[in-house]
Structure 1
Amino acid sequence: MQAPLKTILFQKTECGVDFLLNVLGGKQQQRRWTNNNTYNTDFFEISFFKKAKGRLLLDQRQVDIGDNTVIFISPFQKRQWPVALEDPDFTTLIFQEDFLNDFFADKLFTYRLLYFYQLDYPLNMTIPADEMDRACHILQEIKTELTATKPDSVHIIRSLLYYLLQKLNRQYAHQHHLPIEKTENNYAYQFRKLLEVHIHEKQRISEYAALMGISRISLNKAVQAQFNVTATQLMKHRLLAEVQNYLLHERLTVAEIADKLHFSEPHHLMRFFKSQTGLTTSEFMASYQNTVV
């Protein structure tokens, strides 16, 4: 019988200051992996592996981990470590979304970072060894400011964190040939955020356009300019990911998933799934099991 999904919550007491932000060493985290169960968290994670060999199952994707690998995990992504890493050396930055958006006075900040809530490109990247050393040095500086807080620590943490996150964003964009943020495309990032909030009950572009107070044409233009896909394609991809997560990690039936996602009939969900993947739900489950064995 499958173990219930465990959600790990951000522990403010581990940090010791009034920040929903922390830097954790590898040994502080490995206890999560020992039972081989699937779990998620309510915070963002960026893990910097200076040395490692192994893999991570993240939602329905397998992520390979090697030396100088950076992994990006968004809140509530399901994960499992099926194989223990071989003597890993890594550090993880964790933070909660609302804290970071408030910290930088930008309610869409986390949605502007290309590596979070990413459905089309890898959730990891390899960086040069010297870049990894620099990133880990910055993390150590942040940790020092968190544990030995001074009156100006908030300003130092803000500058170090902003530099690190934006530097990673630039590297990620370069590796995957993605455009760096276009400031006029706030609608695209707002749409991306609304999808995370409303995907269970809203599956029409007109509904999102109405929430934003713009036309469907304006919304689609902004999404295409920033993400190079239509708003409908982005929404369907996000909906598909939700269906796949329910199948793989919640073990819900098609009828139960259809009810949760407000499909009028189970066969409408099955038709949507087949059109997006070319597979039935049963074929997808069998294919996934064969992949991860």
Structure 2
Amino acid sequence: MRWEDFRSSSNVEDRRGMGLPGGAGGLGIGTIVILGLVGWALGIDPRILIGGAEMMTGGGSGYQQQQQGRQGAPQDEAGRFAAAILGNTEDVWNTVLPQQANRQYQAPKLVLFSDATRSGCGGAQSAMGPFYCPLDQTVYIDLSFFEEMQRRFRAGGDFANAYVLAHEVGHHVENQLGILPRVQERQQQVGRAEANQLSVRVELMADCLAGVWAHHSNQRWQSLEQGDIEEAIRAAEAIGDDRLQKQSQGRVVPDSFTHGSSEQRMRWLTTGLKTGQVQACDTFRASKL
């Protein structure tokens, strides 16, 4: 992928190496790790468990206000890559969202961290993987996730890594369209199985929106090289719920899916790549996920 000529975003905060004295919001790092593992084992978003534990222990947003990282594009290669991809998503969505959805795009922030930090949605730690917090409209990522993706799933490369970031930005687009608040409200009214199904639709739409970004980026900057699309599709396949469940517990439980199967993730990413249309990503109206 040709990313070196992308404009670097200034909406980056680099907290790597800062550490998190005393844990996140008063929780110890050990507690965060345990809650993270429990969440993944039970199919519950670890941020919900950690946020609840922080409320029980009186943890709040005070630490977030004290922890300020370095602002602007980092100078190391991994940091420059993340800032460049974010900048390119800004340039694409600044044009595409008004044209296709009649909405002005307000760019999210990107926080780079190592091990653990705080977010507007509660404590964050590396084991959670990258995530988007709608409360502070920020994407959080420990860039070591890219190494883990390569090591565990043999799914890496510049475009695969860019897809991961673009997927989280896709959640921000969903938030701007008013989809995330409506889904979160609905999830509180239904049972676990239906709530999981709503989560799958949200995640598959973000996959598709990542494809829409890549479509327009390639049209305008000729950013994709031979093999890039296959690289991203391999990454989407590697992180499907069915494949992850098979690897971790030896069986697949579709009702507990929260992100979608490998086939679904590949198909929706490809839909965005081929069409370049936000409307084509409406998983909530799709008859087949």
Report the TM-score when normalising by structure 2: 0.31
**Which structure has the greater CA radius of gyration?**
1
Report the TM-score when normalising by structure 1: 0.31
Higher normalized contact order (CA 8 Å, seq sep 6+, divided by chain length): 2
**Comparing both structures, which one devotes a greater share of its residues to strand?**
1
